[in-house]
Amino acid sequence: MSNRKPLILVSNDDGVVSKGISELVKYLRPLGEIVVMAPDSPRSGNASALTVTQPVHYQLLRKDVGLTVYKCSGTPTDCVKLARNTVLDREPDLVVGGINHGDNSATNVHYSGTMGIAIEGCLNGVPSIGFSLCSHDPGADFEAAGPYIRKIAAMVLEKGLPPLTCLNVNFPDTSELKGVKVCQQAKGRWTKEWEACPRLSDPNYFWLTGSFTDSEPENEKSDQWALANGYVAITPITVDLTAYNSIDSLEACCRESGLCD
Amino acid sequence: MSNRKPLILVSNDDGVVSKGISELVKYLRPLGEIVVMAPDSPRSGNASALTVTQPVHYQLLRKDVGLTVYKCSGTPTDCVKLARNTVLDREPDLVVGGINHGDNSATNVHYSGTMGIAIEGCLNGVPSIGFSLCSHDPGADFEAAGPYIRKIAAMVLEKGLPPLTCLNVNFPDTSELKGVKVCQQAKGRWTKEWEACPRLSDPNYFWLTGSFTDSEPENEKSDQWALANGYVAITPITVDLTAYNSIDSLEACCRESGLCD
C-alpha cells in the first residue's frame, strides 16, 4: 500500500467553468489529490463519444497544492483517456464525473457524458462514479448533495467496486434528502422529442427536447421512484452490455433460421 | 397484422455517402420499404451522443419506390430520433445501423455510433441491429457479409428480439466466413491511445489512436474470439445497464458506511 493520498481524476460534461464541477471538487478535496481534466465547452448528451476527426488539445489552467485543473477540447470520455495517458503520473484511485446539471437516471444513462466518464474509468479498472443533480439550473444548489458525495466517494475509495461496475448517483432537487436507495435503472421512453425551429422558408430545423415517461412508476426499486420520493438514487451500472439472458433464445432462433448449426 | 411491407429505418455513423450504408441498403431492400436518415458527415465514435447546443436539420436527398434517403446534420442517435418523429408515418419494424467501416465488438460497443443507432431503436421498443465490418478501408469489400446481413435482418423481422435487447453483429474482414456464433462482449482494454501531433511550440495536441488487448483471448464465447477465428459474431446487447449482481453487495457496503439503514 502506498502512503500517498488517493489520486482522484475529475471531469464533467457541462464544461470546466460550470458550478457543478467546482462544487464536486470542493466536496472531494479532503479525500485526496484532485486532478481535473474537463471540456472547455458544454458537452451535455455526449455519452461515451470520442473525438476522431481532429486532434484533441489540453491546457493547464491552475495548479495548487492538491488541485490541478486542465481544460480539454475533447469530449468527457476524451478527457479521461487523455488525462490517464498524459498528465497523470499513475493510475487514478477514483474517477468521478459531475456534478451534472440534470437528471441522468433511467435511460438517460445512455446519453450522459457524466456517465461516459464513469464508464471510461470503469473500463480501465478504476472505481468510478457519476454524480448528477435533477436540475438544469446553472446556479443550482448542491449543498444537500455535498455530504452524500463525500461519503459515497470515501466509501468507494475504501472498499472499491465489483469488477465491470460503476455507480450512477442522482440527487433529487431538494434540500431535504431522505437518505440513499440502491436502485435499478428505470424503464421508460422519451416522447415529444423535437421542437420545430424553422429557418427562413426551411421547416426542417429542430431543437432536441422531450419528456420522459416512466413505464413502471410504481416500481419502488427504480431510480426514478427513489428520486420522485426524495431519496438519493445509487444505480450500479455494468460495462458488460451482453444480454446474457437472451443468448440461448437467440442461438435457438439462429438455428431455426439456418444461421447456426 | 398489416399487409404493408416492413418499414426499415437505416442509419450509420460513417455518413450518408459511405460505401457501407449503400451496401446495407442493397442487402436490405428486398425485405421491405427502406428509409435512410444518416449523418451528413462522418460521426465515428459518436456512441449515443445527442445534439443539444444547436438545432438539427434534415434534407431529402432521394425518393424512389421503396427507398427514401435523407441526410441529417446530427449524430447517429439524432438521426433515429428525428426520423421516428418526423419523416416516418409509423413506427419502423426494424432499425438498422451500418455497415460500419470498423470493428464494434468487445468494449468498442460503448463508443460506437452504429450501436448508438441500435440502442436508440431498442429503447423505443423496435427490434434493432448494428452491423460492422472489421476493416476501416473506405472501399472495403462487403460481399461476403451481404447474405448474412439479409438473413439476420429477415430473422429479426420475423421473430423479433427479447425486450430491451438489440444485436451487435460484427464481420471479420475475410471473403470466407465460417458461419455465425452467438457471443459475449469480449473483455479487455485499449492502450497507447494517443499519438502526439504538436502544433508550433505547443506539445499538447494528440490524435486518438490505440490498440485493443483482449484480456481473455482463449474465451471461445467472446465476440473477439469469433472474429479472430473467421466467424460472424452476433452479440446480444442489453439497454438495461443495471449491474443486478452488484446490488446486494452495494447495499451492504452502503449500510456499513452509514449511508443506508
The pLDDT tens digits for A192-249 are: 999 999 999 999 999 999 999 999 999 999 999 999 999 999 999 999 999 999 999 9
Range of the domain at B16: 7-187+215-256
The values of phi and psi at residue B22, to 5°, are -65, -40
In a domain, A225, yes or no: yes
* B200 vs A207: CA distance, rounded Å: 39
Number of structural domains (chain A) is: 1
Neighbour-count burial of B9, counting CB atoms closer than 10 A to its CB (0-12 exposed, 13-18 middle, 19+ buried): buried
In a domain, B142, yes or no: yes
Nearest CB to B58; choose among A184, A204, A259: A204
How far is B196 from chain A, CA to nearest CA, in Å?
9
Interface test with B, best of A37, A50, A87 (most B CBs within 10 A): A50
* A144 vs A146: CA distance, rounded Å: 6
Is B100 annotated as a binding-site member?
yes
In a domain, A194, yes or no: no
Is B14 annotated as a binding-site member?
yes
Cβ pair B137, B101 in contact under 8 A: yes
**Which of B:71-90 have CB within 8 Å of A?**
75, 77-78, 81-82, 85-86
- Please tell me if residue A52 touches chain B, with a CB cutoff of 8 Å: yes
The ipTM of this complex is: 0.96
Cβ pair B220, B166 in contact under 8 A: no
The domain that contains A238 carries what CATH number?
Answer: 3.40.1210.10
- Please tell me if residue B170 touches chain A, with a CB cutoff of 8 Å: no
In a domain, A202, yes or no: no
Is B13 annotated as a binding-site member?
yes
User: In a 3-state reduction of DSSP, which class is residue B257?
Assistant: coil
In a domain, B192, yes or no: no
* Chain B residues within 8 A of A256 when measuring between CB atoms: 159
- Please tell me if residue A194 touches chain B, with a CB cutoff of 8 Å: yes
- Please tell me if residue B187 touches chain A, with a CB cutoff of 8 Å: yes
pLDDT single digits (tens) B80-123: 999 999 999 999 999 999 999 999 999 999 999 999 999 999 99
* Chain B residues within 8 A of A239 when measuring between CB atoms: 107, 110
pLDDT single digits (tens) B148-188: 999 999 999 999 999 999 999 999 999 999 999 999 999 99
In a domain, B196, yes or no: no
